[in-house]
Chain A
Amino acid sequence: MSQRVNTIEFDIDEKGCFCNGLLCFENGVIKKYVNSQLTGEFSLENIDELCKIINVGCGSLEMKKKNCDVDENIVLCNFSMSCIKEVSEFNKMVNSYIETGETHNVYFENGRCPHCGRPYFQNSKECLFCTKKGNLLKKTFKMFRSYFMAILKITILLILSTVMTIIKPIIQGNLIDKYFTRTDAVSFDVASKGLVNSVLILVGLYLLGMALGTVSSILIAKVGCSFSHDLRCRLFDKVQRMSISSVAKHTNGELIHRISNDTENVMNFFVSEASRLLERFIIFLIVFIVLFVTSYKLTILVVLPIPIAIFLFYKSSDKMHKYNAQLWRSGSKEASVLNDIIRGIRLVKTFGNEEKEIAKYSKVSGSFCKMSIINGRFWALFVEPVSFLIAIGEILVLIIGGKMVIDGELSLGSFVSFNLYLAHLYSPLRWMSGLPRRFSNATTSLVKIFDILDEEIDVENSEKSITEINSGDIVFENVSFGYKSYEPVLKNINVTMQEGKMYGLVGHSGAGKSTMINLIIRLFDPNEGKISVGGINLTDYDQRSFRNKIGVVYQDTYLFSGTIYDNIKYSSENASMEEIINSAKIANAHDFIMRLPDGYNTVIGENGYRLSGGERQRLAIARAVLKDPQILILDEATSALDPETEELIQQALGRLVKGRTTVAIAHRLSTLRHADKLIVIENGEIAEMGTHVDLLRERGIYYDLVMAQKQLTRREK
């Protein structure tokens, strides 16, 4: 849904209190209304621009007067973060008017729910307020419809197995009425024969029930394992496809918890419990009919407390969910802290903080334990009284049924079989009384799973999905980008990088250099403008094929636990041993590898902790070389290394960049002086561009940076 932005709402007044405000823009005038009262009219004459200031949890929109300092700005309005998107679009529109003198009716995807008008949450396309409750289960059933037949088979087997058990009381009741309380009409022989036959039938039923039960258990195990494997893979697949910014919203421990524990919870419920649910329900119905036929009066007594129990469950469902969510949170936090400490164990030991970390873990583990106890206590205090309430019927049956037997209204056999059936009626009821807890557990986990599965992938493959790159030319055309669209990090970037040449990105920290690289790798898509490679828009490439043509060497390179061979081969699965050795030689890594007793088969430990920083870096370069990339990205690839190691790596990089489009970031500017072109980024914009010599001659930002670094080097010496 798109919306015109000539009129926008704001919600904070001058005193910092909530209000209902409106800004209307028409014919070069902005009118301000607070609580339906016109409080100001502002002409755009002599106004330089509108500036949006973002603070913490709020912001303000200011008018900057021409040739005046910022202390003379006029505050148009203050707003909370609920209004930020509209204010940003309004800001752009008015600034465009100031620049061009023309009013463009700007429409924008307002990301709001068409029903209630509230904004969507981050990347979601679903309104949090308007989502129907049933959606969760609907989505779950849709996702696992392929398992329905298997679950149905299990259910049928379980029902058959239970029917075997249900028939038994009829035979037992019959045995009592016909043979045990026999009259003279039934001879001893007939009674004995009847007893033997009944016992044989009972044994047969037991055996058949056991066989059916065994087969259904095997099926449950089989379906359950496939189900949780499938769910884990779906979740893992989604996590792999999510953008870096989406993954960064979750801690490692939390993601691991979701992939392992939550999938297991859901599997337990949907495979074991869901198949039993139908089975128990059918048993309940059959037993209910049998009981009703035997004695409708007693049956009414039995089922009388059930609606009360259901009502109690319904009333406490919110509380159940809250307790389960709390338990989930404390479990997830415990997993997260544990993962954090174990990953940073070397740092913990280096700083001698073992005791501190033990205390930290003990605290979260204690909190998890406390929540488990609270949860357990709630269930014990809730389920047991409800179970007792349900069982009141049993006592009533004993009193009233006993009286009916004494009065001759009911035979003893019927009374005994009624009581035996009663157990079959209460068994599913008791099981069902624990169901809300299991259901609540499963839905808590399901929500966490769908949180991830439903997240929109913000960088998707287009329909074209081109797999080949014509050339390594990279072109930025009017590119603007911000991790939050209203806070641009890069503004209107226009640059052409030619194939086979080396480009250095230079600028202060936070200027936008790494963001430019992230856009080339297509970890994000620009908010405005386009980036093309080989004359084709980046969004038209198949991401996997495109990234296969790109080699990246980061400062903090990551190596997987495994051997050196595995780690180099990671970038090209089909590489031969000759190619691996060749790339290690280009990266100046071969010599140090050969000094290791196990050579290329040396196990390097998690993230290569058995290697030095320089060795790890050279392995990363070898990995990039093996790919034979058309475009090479070097993000601080040589910083934080000693001069000797840096020299080795520079030699390796020198060999690597030949014939490829190379984009490099380096804080040590000396490493970029041979670049064909240096691009100086300042506050998200290209400030200077040229060769090292050109830029020094210009005496601009680059010159200042070089001089500052020279001074620093001199001081260090």
Chain B
Amino acid sequence: MDNELTCYLDAEKIIFRTNENGFCMMEYADEIYKRVNLLKTCPQISPHKFICVQKMDSTEIGIIKDLNELDEESKIVAINELEKKYFLPEITKFVSIKIKPGTAFMDCIFGNVRKSFAVRDVSHNVFYVDNHTARINDSDGNRYIVNINKLNKKSRKMIEPLLY
């Protein structure tokens, strides 16, 4: 199967920078794109690989196979842009998880911010994405990530029964 339909961008020719309004711009092969949209093709399995670059009207410019192949500054800009687009705050500690029939109420710490939220239908909304990372989707449509290995014993004891 050929790859003619997909334009893979040459990482060496890409320059990502942030413009004065905070938007990501790209220079590629003598062409300047004033504002581009970056999208992850596989956000869960490989968040920094196969990144799709689009113009603001959603037409695809091409795909970057691996952000690690970019120069350091471009890589930082791209990663920052992706983090802005894919808001996935990491839960660092569970203060409490209360179970009411049908809903789990979680009081959590995100770095230095404490936040509480409800998770409906736990079976669909609390799950492992890989061996040590879990994802939680709350009832508002927010997504959170938890690195199980980084949690303290108490937090782990709280969340583990909800994962299977």
Contact = CB atoms under 8 A, between A and B. Distances in A.
Interface of A: 12, 14, 16-18, 55-58, 60, 69-75, 78, 80-82, 84, 118-119, 121-122, 128-129, 131, 133, 136, 318-319, 321-323, 325-326, 328-330, 332-333, 367, 371, 443-444, 446-448, 450-451
B35 A69 contact: yes
A328 to B, nearest CB: 8
Interface string B109-153: 011010101101111000000000000000111110000000000
Given A69-B34, A330-B164, A128 B118 contact: yes
Nearest to B111: A17
Contacts of B22: 14, 75
Contacts of A332: 123
Given A55-B87, A73-B21, 13 more contacts: A17-B111, A56-B43, A70-B23, A71-B25, A80-B87, A128-B105, A128-B118, A129-B118, A325-B99, A326-B162, A329-B123, A330-B164, A444-B101
B72 interface: no
B35 A71 contact: yes
Contacts of A133: 100-101
Nearest to B20: A72
A72 B22 CA distance: 9
Given A71-B21, A81-B142, A56 B86 contact: yes
A58 B87 contact: yes
B77 interface: no
Kindly name the residue among A55, A328, A330, A367 whose own CB sees the greatest number of chain B CB atoms within 10 A.
A55
Given A80-B87, A121-B139, A128-B139, A75 B21 contact: yes
What are the 6 A-B residue pairs with the smallest beta carbon separation, nearest first?
Answer: A58-B87, A81-B141, A71-B35, A447-B101, A329-B123, A71-B34
B19 A71 contact: yes
Contacts of A69: 34-35
A683 to B, nearest CB: 11
A371 B163 CA distance: 11
A17 B85 contact: no
A118 B123 contact: no
A455 to B, nearest CB: 11
Interface of B: 19, 21-23, 25, 34-35, 43, 56, 80, 83-89, 98-103, 105, 110-111, 113, 115, 117-118, 120-123, 139-143, 161-162, 164
A117 B143 CA distance: 20
Nearest to B25: A71
Contact of A329 (B23, B80, B87, B164): B164
A589 B143 CA distance: 51
A447 B121 CA distance: 10
A447 B102 CA distance: 6
Contacts of B19: 71
Given A71-B25, A128-B105, A333-B123, A118 B99 contact: no
Contacts of A447: 101-102
A451 B121 contact: yes
B106 to A, nearest CB: 11
B142 A82 contact: yes
B83 A16 contact: yes
Given A16-B83, A367-B164, A443 B101 contact: yes
A70 B57 CA distance: 10
Contacts of A73: 21, 23
A109 to B, nearest CB: 16
A302 B110 CA distance: 51
B113 A321 contact: no
A118 to B, nearest CB: 7
12 contacts: A56-B43, A57-B87, A60-B84, A80-B87, A84-B140, A128-B100, A133-B100, A133-B101, A318-B98, A326-B162, A326-B164, A332-B123
B113 A17 contact: yes
Contacts of B110: 18
Contacts of B98: 318
Given A17-B113, A57-B86, A57-B87, A129 B105 contact: yes
A282 to B, nearest CB: 29
Contacts of B111: 17
Given A14-B22, A71-B19, A451-B121, A136 B142 contact: no
Given A56-B143, A84-B141, A121 B120 contact: yes
A55 B117 CA distance: 20
Nearest to B83: A16
A351 to B, nearest CB: 17
A285 to B, nearest CB: 30
Contacts of B115: 18
Contacts of A450: 101-102
A322 B100 CA distance: 10
Nearest to A78: B84
B21 A74 contact: yes
B120 A136 contact: no
Contact of B142 (A60, A80, A129): A80
A16 B23 contact: no
A448 B103 CA distance: 11
A121 B101 CA distance: 15
Kindly name the residue among B43, B100, B143 whose own CB sees the greatest number of chain A CB atoms within 10 A.
B100
